[in-house]
A and B are shown apart, each in its own frame.
Chain A
Amino acid sequence: MARAPVAARKAPARLTRILIATRKGLWTLASDIARNGWKLGGPQFLGHVLHHAIADPREPKLMLAAARTGHLGPTIFRSQDAGRTWKEAQKPPAFAHGSDRVVDHTFWLTPAHRDEPGVFYAGTSPQGLFRSADGGATWEGIEGFNAHPQRKTWCGGEQDGTPDGPKMHSILVDPRDPRHLYIGMSSGGVFESADGGADWHPLNRGVRADFLPDPAPEYGHDPHCVRFAGGNPDRLYQQNHCGIYRLDRPGETWQDIGAAMPKSVGSIGLPLVVHPNDPDSLWVFPMDGTTVWPRTSPGGRPAVYRSRDGGKSWKRQDQGLPRSQAWWTVKRQAMTSDARDPAGIYFGTTSGEVWGSRDEGRTFRCLARHLPEIYALECA
């Protein structure tokens, strides 16, 4: 069903704060108004594996962090004072007893609709969907997904997931309708719910799955990152294991927009970032997906690619980035934008560097280095 577009709103100038979730803890970067001077803070949770950390746009002092350690099981930490102090959730995400499934880690956190204060969603590894109605203190499984009779068929088994475990990610909440949800699963594909998660249907038509016997199945795909277009939740962009795609609702067939990428670079990557209010602008960070999938920047020359026309064409943006022998890449949650004008683009690398641009990717500079492997960046 078509819905009214969301009016674009330009955010006022303010300090930019970035939450940096890493394999060994949480750090923060805080800028001045000009986004010129940056100060690194942290670590917090030193030694904990932080897959995601977010601030609540409805209540900015509320923050959540998904954590585990090498030895201990997964949990969620909450802060109600903008990250100064943290307290563990009373009931972290866990599958129903008797379901034979165990949450290895919470991978993704999403604040729910603006009219549902205190409500959050969490996606886990293996694929599970959870909801908190009390600001992240207690979590309940959404059985419409977790106990769905088709779930196992959609997701496959452990061998169908990523090397770091199968994941649910990219939980999207329609800003016009809190019950209209999308999820992405590696593997499984993109799914949609119109009833708050009570039921789901696959939404993968047009997306390749060339690692399966049927290259155009109904489900079983590997979306790496799915985002609403800035200011237009009737458009979705997807960086997939097999290319880059756009979907304009109410259509149900994704358009291959990765075909316009340079052949020498390809259209494989993990993250995808959208402009805060231009639905035609998006950025990707390609990686080497040839042969054994090195998952490095292609040729050791990292670059961001930007499209300003919804994916019809792409422009390389690498000013300020290393010109050679830089073999890192960027994980699916480790690239983000701020809501300033011009938009800031930030990414964290597998080698522990944070790079930022305050001019929509025209120039980049290194904002932090020598951190642990970076899993996620979010602007607070």
Chain B
Amino acid sequence: MSARKARYQLMQALVRGSASFGVDPDLGQVDFELAELGKCVRLQPLNRQRLLQVIHASRALDTCLGSILRGSGIVPKHGIGKMLRQLMTLSPSVRGHLGNANVAAFISTIANKRNRYMHRAGSFPSSTQEVDKLVAEIHSCMSMVL
């Protein structure tokens, strides 16, 4: 099994094994996005493949964070960065809480980078390595909150 497949499947196992899976239909959509992410690694042209990976991975994280916040009775704000800040306000004993340092790191490595590709016309990740880094940070964030 390739390293990428071993990673996507791990994330799917974490989503399906979380207490809210089956209760919150949004987590089913997160599972779907992760499966799509696994499917687009060989797409051509390369620009489209890279952009699709950014879209699927960040949509999975976006919905995942929203689901966690709603599960704790908080109305999620719009955008990954704002939701990450909302996770800081959860009680540390609640699964999904993130500390200051992690939130600051994920805003810089995920939210800011993702916004560059999502909101600027004609902007594509310049290398596979750049996409791999962003997707890996998204996985890292999900593994801490799920």
Q: Do A and B come from one complex?
A: no
